[in-house]
Chain A
Amino acid sequence: MNILKGLLASAAILVPAIAMAEGETVGFSQIGSESGWRAAETTVTKQQAEERGITLKFADAQQKQENQIKAIRGFVAQGVDAILLAPVVATGWEEVLEEAKDADIPVILLDRNIDAPEDLYMTAVTSDQVHEGMVAGNWLKEAVAGEDCSVVELQGTTGSSPAIARKKGFEEAIADAPNIKITRSQTGDFTRAQGKVVMESFLKSEGGANICALYAHNDDMAVGAIQAIKEAGLKPGEDIKIVSIDSVPDIHLAMKAGEANATVELTPNMAGPAFDVLAAYWKDGTMPAKWIQTESKLYTSDDDNAAIYESKKDLGY
């Protein structure tokens, strides 16, 4: 332990000198490859670092917290200038973040928050998932313009925080619109396959003609549901309006074809705002707020979906 402390101390002394010499080094502990969105986040983070001349040290934790803790210890020992952490779980970070703090290395959380004292990290860059649901709900309110509309909902994995938050946000948005009602709500496990299966069941139990809109907690389930709607002989996007969240490339392809209506972006660019914050901190020591909310941008069929698809398709979604 003493050796480690010694190492940390020497690293802390050496760091500024290195930083002055050749651009900053930032360690990034990524969760692993759990979804296409996360792959895109990794790609964008690397791009952002390159644009700013930051050397990025990347560590893939393969969905294990102990790997992330090891990676952070490694970054501290290497004396990086800052650490980006996409935490796989919310708890158990105090000790390792304490070590980073002792070494004066700022830690920025990406896309998820943790249960730890706020002084252990510089800031958290996340989207507000309740807000995402509200953006989707508000779009639907405008789209139906007061007409009666029964909505079927494809929820995310039961009990997961995005599923709970996105459901809540949507319900809050349509609370003051008595014309919009959620008639069926089931989990599609955030996957295409299950989204399709559950939509098939909705189409039969409700009757395709009685469904006015589909709200899916992510685009993948919406893509699956679109196929189910087509196989039932209905026109997705016209007979049934489709709004979902994430803005993955394939939903833009569907929107271009008129088969989906709107999506709310969960931006993979969490690192950009984080690097901005770091640049300000390195320049004159400005401390940011404890939470930086990323923009939940709404894309509809009015946008140039072909161009958006082209810009997103190589990000690794």
Chain B
Amino acid sequence: MMKSTLKRVMPQIIILALVLAANVLVFPGFFHIEFQHGRLFGNLIDVLNRGAPTALLATGMTLVIATRGIDLSVGAVMAIAGAVAASAVTGGAHWTLALLMALAAGAACGLWNGLLVAIFRIQPIVATLVLMVAGRGIAQLLTEGAILTFNDPGLIRLGAGTIAAVPTPIWLWIAVACLTGFVIRRTALGLLIEAVGVNETSSRLAGINSRVLLWAVYLVSGLCAALAGVIVAADIKGADANNAGLWMELDAILAVVIGGNSLLGGRFSITASLLGALIIQGVNALILLSGMPVEFNLVIKALIIIAILVIQSPRVRHSLYLLRASTGPVLRDRPARTAPRTRQEEGQS
């Protein structure tokens, strides 16, 4: 189990290592972490901390994409959740209640998406587009278009505080990912989700309740987005409905794709998606540390992402495999297991 997971995420680990190495090249002190004013302080901590929203979104998004769906609304749900939490604490509610209300708002958004996809059979990209467009408007209504600031130390701690010297967002995304992974992989849920993604009709004929499963994955995605939204709002002590989570859905999808998960559904790996999120954040850190003129930001990011995706493409991977296979008997037992999968992936696309 452990060994096969490691093998599955090896490309992502190598890419992440390369991105981090590039960071060290432009800034030698990249791995330097010190203990300062009661918190760990360093670039690596920043990558883990700033990657939290993308990592949380990617966790939910992986499940949605595994069912052959997509959730474009997560960025807007982040804005809604942040606005709900901010208006709750400014209205005098305890921060735990504010958090619960934000999660409830996220759950409601997820259920709405699930309703459109699972019951009304609307294509996921269209169904979630509704909330992507309308959701930001709802958030703006809640904050009346302004940045709704708050000073509740409990809520702020979720985004800007620390637990045992480690920034809270890091704990949160790791906890959510572990919990999701545990539930999905220690039960048959993961398998069932993959079955729905590969062929919904035959999975239904085989007795899988695909409707409930579809509904559940959008619910999880909504909850993850809500938590990400609370973190982002808490981080700046304010709900910025215009900008919170803006275009984050694309980063989340990118993280899932960099994680080697197929947008056509089926087999998925949450671990790989999380590594994808860290790779994206690593690239962001690289751009910031490089000190290049800002006009190059997106060009650099695009080039790195293109390189990552090309390296992961079935054709390049197959060539790499052929190259390795022809160099000697070291990898004797691998071809038998890799080759059919490659062919299968090509067959799917």
Question: Besides A36-B146, A158-B297, A159-B295, 7 other CB < 8 A contacts?
Answer: A33-B145, A34-B242, A185-B294, A193-B240, A204-B27, A223-B236, A227-B160
Q: How far is the CB of B170 from chain A (nearest CB, A)?
A: 14
B346 contacts the other chain (CB 8 A): no
The residue of chain A having its C-beta at the shortest distance from the C-beta of B147 within the complex is A36
Which B residues are CB-close (under 8 A) to A186? 288, 294
Contact A192 B240, beta carbon cutoff 8 Å = yes
Question: In whole angstroms, how far apart are the Cα atoms of A224 and B238 in the complex?
Answer: 10
Number of A-B contacts defined by CB within 8 Å: 85
Q: Is A231's CB under 8 angstroms from B297's CB?
A: no
Q: Which of chain B's residues has its CB closest to A234's CB?
A: B37
Question: Which residues of B (21-56) have their CB < 8 Å from a CB of A?
Answer: 27, 29, 36-37, 39, 41-43, 46, 50
* CB pair A232 B236 closer than 8 Å: no
The verdict on A132 contacting chain B, using a C-beta distance below 8 Å, is no
Contacts of A185 in B (CB 8 A): 293-294
Q: Are A158 and B160 in contact (CB under 8 A)?
A: no
Which residues of chain B have a CB within 8 Å of any CB of chain A? 27, 29, 36-37, 39, 41-43, 46, 50, 140, 144-147, 149, 160, 232, 235-238, 240, 242-244, 285, 288-289, 291, 293-295, 297-298
Judged by a CB distance under 8 angstroms, whether A189 is at the interface is: yes
Q: Is A247 an interface residue (CB 8 A)?
A: no
Alpha-carbon distance between A158 and B235 when the two chains are bound, in angstroms: 23
Q: Which of B43, B149, B240 contacts A191 (CB 8 A)?
A: B240
Q: List A contacts of B29 (CB < 8 A).
A: 204
Given A193-B232, A193-B235, A231-B160: A250 in contact with B147 (beta carbons within 8 A)? yes
B interface footprint on A182-201 (CB within 8 Å = 1, 0 otherwise):
00111101011100111011
Q: Give Cα A204 to B29, complex, Å.
A: 9
Residues of B within 8 A of A189 (CB): 243
Pairwise interchain contact A36-B36, C-beta atoms closer than 8 A? no
Chain B: minimal CB distance from A136 (Å)? 18
The docked-state distance in angstroms from the alpha carbon of A208 to that of B238 is: 25
- CB pair A200–B46 under 8 Å, yes or no, is yes
Q: How far is the CB of B55 from chain A (nearest CB, A)?
A: 15
Q: How far is the CA of A189 from the CA of B144 in the complex (A)?
A: 21
Contact in complex: A220, B147 (CB < 8 Å): yes
Known A193-B243, A204-B43; judge A250-B289 contact (CB<8 A): no
Which residues on the B side are within 8 Å of A34 (C-beta)? 242
Cβ–Cβ < 8 Å partners of A205 in chain B: 27, 288-289, 291
Which parts of A121-136 form the interface with B (CB within 8 Å)?
none
B285 pairs with A201, CB closer than 8 A = yes
Count residues of chain A with CB under 8 A from any CB of chain B. Answer: 34
Q: CA–CA, A197 to B146, complex, Å?
A: 21
Q: Given A33-B140, A231-B39, decide whether A196 and B236 contact each other with a Cβ distance below 8 A.
A: yes
Secondary structure type dominating chain B contacts: mixed
Q: Whose C-beta in chain A lies nearest to the C-beta of B233?
A: A193
Q: A35-B242, A192-B236, A205-B27 are in contact. Are A198 and B288 (CB under 8 A)?
A: yes
Interchain CB contact under 8 A, B144 and A39? yes
A45 at the interface (CB under 8 A from B): no
Report the nearest A residue to B46, measured CB to CB: A200
Q: How long is the Cα–Cα vector from A223 to B4 in the complex, in angstroms?
A: 47
Q: Is the CB of A317 within 8 A of B146?
A: yes
CB distance from B148 to the nearest CB of A (A): 10
Q: How far is the CA of A38 from the CA of B147 in the complex (A)?
A: 12
Q: Does A285 contact B (CB under 8 A)?
A: no
Determine if A272 is an interface residue (Cβ-Cβ < 8 Å). Answer: no
List 26 contacting pairs A-B, 8 Å CB cutoff, sorted by A.
A33-B145, A33-B242, A36-B145, A39-B144, A155-B294, A158-B295, A158-B297, A158-B298, A185-B293, A187-B294, A189-B243, A193-B235, A196-B236, A198-B288, A200-B46, A201-B289, A204-B43, A204-B46, A204-B289, A205-B288, A205-B289, A220-B147, A223-B236, A227-B235, A233-B41, A316-B145
Contacts of B144 in A (CB 8 A): 39, 316
Q: Using Cβ atoms and an 8 Å threshold, which residues of chain A touch B140?
A: 33
Residues on the A chain within 8 Å of B149, using CB:
250
Residues of B within 8 A of A250 (CB): 147, 149
Tell me whether A227 and B237 are in contact (CB under 8 A). Answer: yes
**Minimum distance in angstroms from B36 CB to a CB of chain A:** 6
Residue numbers in B under 8 Å from A36 (CB-CB): 145-147
Nearest B residue to A253 via CB reads B149
Convert A211-237 into 0s and 1s, putting 1 for each residue whose CB lies closer than 8 angstroms to a CB of B. 000000000100110010001110000
